[in-house]
Amino acid sequence: MCCWCCCLDCIHNIPPLNLLFLHFSPHSLSSSVAPGGGEAAAVAPMASISVPNPAPSPTEDAESIRKAVQGWGTDENALIEILGHRTAAQRVEIAVAYEGLYDETLLDRLHSELSGDFRSAMMLWTMHPAARDAKLANEALKKKKGELRHIWVLVEVACASSSDHLVAVRKAYRAAYASSLEEDVASCSLFRDPLRTFLVRLVSSYRYAGRGVDGELAITEAAELHDAVVGEGQPLHGDVVRIVGTRSKPQLAATLERYRQEHGKGIDEVLDGRRGDQLAAVLKAALWCLTSPEKHFAEVIRTSILGLGTDEEMLTRGIVSRAEVDMEKVKEEYKVRYNTTVTADVRGDTSGYYMNTLLTLVGPEK
């Protein structure tokens, strides 16, 4: 569980949410709200959240939230119903309206009213996505051990969204922590080369966003990847770092498909065969986040609930970060790979308002 008391001061250093929002492309935050609210915000086709049509105005939502947190006790269900059914764009406008009306930030109020995993989930969801990812990356860099589940966070931030989103994350990170994400990754004592070099390349990248693919290049680089991952050598040598750290997502997808055609199995299957090899696991996560993020986040959610106890931090991150992006694809992947549903596993491993928040974001199973 994260320590929100320690990070709220950092969050307050982030530029105003309505300005930070301008750094996002329509693809990284596929939502918009007409002036004054009213119009339903666009929701990404594979998002799992539902949004009312018409939606209340930001001011009306801010006033409803105020009612839910005033007086004796907190109306947790009202908070879930409002914030859990609004897009990032709408939550930005609600936060701005709330602060303008009541001279306190919405995050401050949620922090004071809620507790435990429920508070962590609601605050992460309410944050601007760039600020959220900046916070998650900073927390991952502060861990005492460089475990794969913490490295995953950096890979997700760098690879699972658009290049414009990553630029916004880097700006939010610098504003909140007075240092750059790239510098902090490079100086983190948890990492050694070649992992450090690979992660720095990922978080500092800006990939071409077009759909064009070079077939000849895909053939050449599929062969280079094969040479890197076959055998006992470490897989993150220079060619791999260059290819995975710079190529567009369509180009990488074409390269991985060429690899499958040439060798009869996917590179992810080869990397899975290298048990206990952290570098191979990081490379697989990066390739999945860049070309098939639903595979990675299905694994994140499943990993969070396996074994003794639930890793609520990982579970929350996996659901919150994909609910308005591609959670429907994650749910389908989860069902195929694990023969159960995200909903069933969330119900089995969580409870109370925390469970209700996650299930609201996951949406109904189809």
350 is in an annotated binding site: yes
Name the residue type at position 7. C
305 is in an annotated binding site: yes
Structural tokens at position 268: 């992810």
113 is in an annotated binding site: yes
Please state, as a whole number, how many other Cβ atoms lie within 10 Å of the Cβ of residue 145. 7
Closest by CA to 38, choosing from 51, 27, 49, 47, is 51
Find out whether the peptide bond into 194 is cis, omega within 30 degrees of 0. Answer: yes
β-bridge mates for residue 38, sequence order: 55
Query: Rounded to an integer, what distance in angstroms lies between the CA atom of residue 240 and that of residue 148?
Result: 19
341 is in an annotated binding site: no
- Output DSSP code: residue 178: S
Q: How many residues does the chain have?
A: 366
Give the contacts of 281 (CB within 8 A, at least 6 positions apart). Answer: 148, 271, 274
- Angle made by CA atoms 225, 297, 45, in degrees to the nearest 5: 105
CB 243 within 8 A of CB 224: yes
Query: Rounded to an integer, what distance in angstroms lies between the CA atom of residue 97 and that of residue 209?
Result: 34
214 is in an annotated binding site: no
Contacts 24+ apart (CB under 8 A), 354-358: 354/116, 354/117, 354/118, 354/121, 354/312, 356/77, 356/80, 357/80, 357/84, 357/118, 357/121, 357/122, 357/125, 358/121, 358/315, 358/316, 358/319
DSSP string, 68-86: HHSSSS--HHHHHHHHTTS
Query: Rounded to an integer, what distance in angstroms lies between the CA atom of residue 125 and that of residue 111?
Result: 13
Annotated binding site for Ca(2+): 71, 73, 113, 305, 309, 349-350
Annotated binding site: 71, 73, 113, 305, 309, 349-350
